Amino acid sequence: MVSVIVLIQLLVQLSTVMLAQDTCPLSCHCGKKRGPDNKTVTVIRCSTGVVPDLSPLKLDPHPKELTLDAYRHDNTLDIRKNVFQSGLKIKRLVIRGGPKMTLQDAAFVRLDDSLVSLRVGNEVKFNTTLTFLRGLSGLVQLELRNNKQYWTRSTGSHVVSLFHDLGLYELQHLDMSACFIYKMSVDVFRGVESITSLDLSGNRLSNVPWALSSLTHLQKLDLSFNHIKSLKSGAFSKLNKLHSLLLVGNEFGELVPDTFSGLENSLLTLDLQLTGQKVIPTRALRRLKMLKNLNISENPFTSMLADSFSGEYCLHRLDIHYTQVEFHANMFDSQKDCLHELSLYKTKLTYIPRGILASLSKLRRLEFHGADIDILKNNSLSGINAKSIDLSYLPLSEIEPGAFSGLNVPVNVTIVGTSLTSLDFVLGYKPGTFQTLEIEGSIICDCDLLKPLRELGCALIGSCSREHNISVMNLRNDEFRNYLSEKCSVELFAPVCLSNIVQNNYCCVFILLLMGLILIEFNI
């Protein structure tokens, strides 16, 4: 019985491969992948100056993603609605064309009953009202990034009404990034007022467009890397469903207290990285009671005070990397029962500020990546609640005995790219102190690497260096196991083998399946 089942499975797999070969259009490459819903998706890429005959795809039952890549071809390519045959089911379509590629009115209307996602990029020519989109009533995602349709060398792009009367009733996600847009008319989004996600990053906007006020369903807005020099009072007051706002790279400086009025009960994520802040915008943030994630990194702060993060919010993640100021002893007190993740990498820290961090009762992840810490002293991390501590790319040359004493939970430690050459610092702790150790770079591949596994029961991941730094070896590869088996006894070597097999999910699944087949075959 088992043999019959296995044979049927092999025949199904073989027929699927044969079907994929038979249904792939000429001048195209086809393959399979797993989609977000874990279902099989057929991926087709056609690099040609003309749209090939796509009718063979009708025989393929899987959802399909089609890319038409004519960017490197000089052919004049017109896409009209008769190019796509009736009955062709394409879920996602990507068009990459050059200046000679044009899209005619209702070009994709025959794909209306299947097309969910459309990307049109790389300077494709289309008319100012985007009528090639007409009739796509089921379209959910539209990406127009990297188009310069309205660009002139002197002014950039002034975008007028684009979507009116196109019937894009289901559109939720709109990407118009990197399109050289410097100005938008007030009615530019008429016809797509229901969108929930809008990406305008990488344009040349000098202020927050008034056109956004009509998007009352908007939940995510990305205005990063524009030329916005100031944020006016109430710039987002109409967007009271907005939960994510990205303003990275706009140097607008100090924020007035009511900058984010209207967002008090909705905003969850705010990114103010590289925005020219000299002081923490405490007053502007204070009333954002739903705020959970705040990034204020890479700003020229002059100081941080005890009340810098006081407000009606309760932060889960705070990112203040590349902050070159001294930390105030009580700066996190207002968030001590809130913070889960704290990023302090590339700061001026030369030591672990245990007195500041030990009070953070909910802290789970702590990042010091790239700070100036060269020695981890005794009791440096005592009392800290973090389950994950990132000590990567520090000038770390020594970890004193007892540095990890007094931890409240088993910890995952990352020590990639440091000057440490061994893991002796873990010895002397009781089993369960370390859950995983991720290493890479200067740690030498020798029998001492087995001590954390043998004595503490923790897992090693990453890579180590051969003696004299000739090359590196992945700790999960057979090469590493074979290398150590020649140098270490079987007794020492066995835990490494066990650790690697257990962490390899495919091996576990195979072993379990094999055991199951044996039990069924012998009726055990």
pLDDT for 73 equals 56
The mean pLDDT of the chain is 83
Q: Is 267 helix (H, G, I), strand (E, B) or coil?
A: coil
Cα 106 to chain centroid, rounded:
34
Q: Find the mean pLDDT for residues 150-176.
A: 78
Task: Grade residue 468 by pLDDT with cuts at 50, 70 and 90.
Answer: low
361 vs 339: CA distance, rounded Å: 8
The dihedral through the CA atoms of 323, 327, 333, 338 has a sign that is positive
End-to-end CA distance of the chain: 15
One-letter amino acid at 521 equals: E
pLDDT for 125 equals 62
How do strand 40-47 and strand 28-34 relate by DSSP bridges? Answer: antiparallel
pTM for this prediction:
0.84
Helix H or strand E segment including 175: strand 173-175
Q: Is 444 helix (H, G, I), strand (E, B) or coil?
A: strand
Q: Which residues of 363-398 are buried (b: 16+ CB within 10 A; e: fewer)?
A: bebbbbbbbebeebeeebbbebbbbbbbbbbbebee
Residue with tokens 């369903």: 217
Q: Is 499 helix (H, G, I), strand (E, B) or coil?
A: helix
Least confidently predicted of 28-42, 257-271, 278-292, 462-476: 462-476
- Would you say residue 451 has pLDDT above 90? no
- Would you say residue 415 has pLDDT above 60? yes
pLDDT for 83 equals 86
CB proximity list for 114: less than 8 A, separation 6 or greater? 88, 89, 90, 91, 138
User: What does residue 416 show for φ and ψ, rounded to 5 degrees?
Assistant: -80, 135
Residue 238 Ramachandran class (φ > 0 left, ψ -120 to 50 alpha, else beta): alpha
Residue 91 near residue 65, CB atoms below 8 Å: yes
pLDDT digits (tens, 9 = 90+) for 182-203: 888 888 899 999 999 999 999 9
Give 382's DSSP letter: T
pLDDT digits (tens, 9 = 90+) for 332-387: 999 999 999 999 888 888 888 888 888 899 999 999 988 889 999 998 888 888 99
Instruction: Give the best-scoring range by mean pLDDT among 34-43, 272-281, 408-417, 500-509.
Output: 272-281
Determine what percent of the chain is predicted with pLDDT higher than 90: 42
